[in-house]
Amino acid sequence: MFFFNDKNLSFIIVGLGNPGVSYKNTRHNVGFCAIDYIAEQENLKIKTPKFNSLCQQINIEGKKVLFMKPQIFMNLSGKAVFEALKFYKISPRQLIVLLDDVNFEVGKIRIKKSGGDAGHNGMRSIIEFLNCDRFARIKIGVGSKPKYFSDLANWVLSEFSEDEKKILNDVYKECYSSFKLLLSSLNG
């Protein structure tokens, strides 16, 4: 059960994406897909509206974790994350963000404990709202923009091929393992 007034939260995990059916299966929404996979493994439905997001809290390995899927557009994700961190009075070091990355091929993930936005609008928004880049992120490769795509926005808003979707099923399993590793290695 989720109690928003319970302020003893250990971590917030945020999947980045854009709300709405038209964006559901796009490259830019792999953060949503990954967090949904993790939630499913924990028998959790992320459905409670709060902080301009869909949220749900769960105890994992003795730690209270808030799952969030911001329901505002990607370039405003920081507003939702900032509201949650402020409400729970927790540090950005207790934040884990799942997001897409065009610098990696489909199937590759990269875990970082801090860093810049690498041109990602959702990450830029979070860094600007928090005035901090010292938080963990799990970057999920979505492939670089092919030359025949006119701009990057069209590429990240395109859907994956059937072969890429098969690869992503294994990637989400890796994200789940990485998430559990981060929970045990970060202080929260």
DSSP code string of 45-63: ---EEETTEEEEEEEETTE
How many helices (H) and strands (E) in the chain?
Answer: 5, 7
Instruction: Please give the span between the terminal C-alpha atoms of the chain, in angstroms, as a whole number.
Output: 21
pTM here is 0.92
> CATH 3.40.50.1470: does it fit domain 11-185?
yes
Taking Cα atoms as reference points, which of 118, 108, 107, 88 lies closest to residue 14? 88
**pLDDT at 140 (0 to 100):** 95
Distance CA 55, CA 66 (A): 7
Q: At what angle do helices 162-185 and 30-41 cross, to 10 degrees?
A: 60
Instruction: Give the catalytic positions in this structure.
Output: 28
Distance CA 156, CA 100 (A): 9
Higher pLDDT, 149 or 108: 108
Distance CA 31, CA 10 (A): 20
**pLDDT at 1 (0 to 100):** 44
Confidence of residue 148 (pLDDT cuts 50, 70, 90): confident
Distance CA 108, CA 185 (A): 21
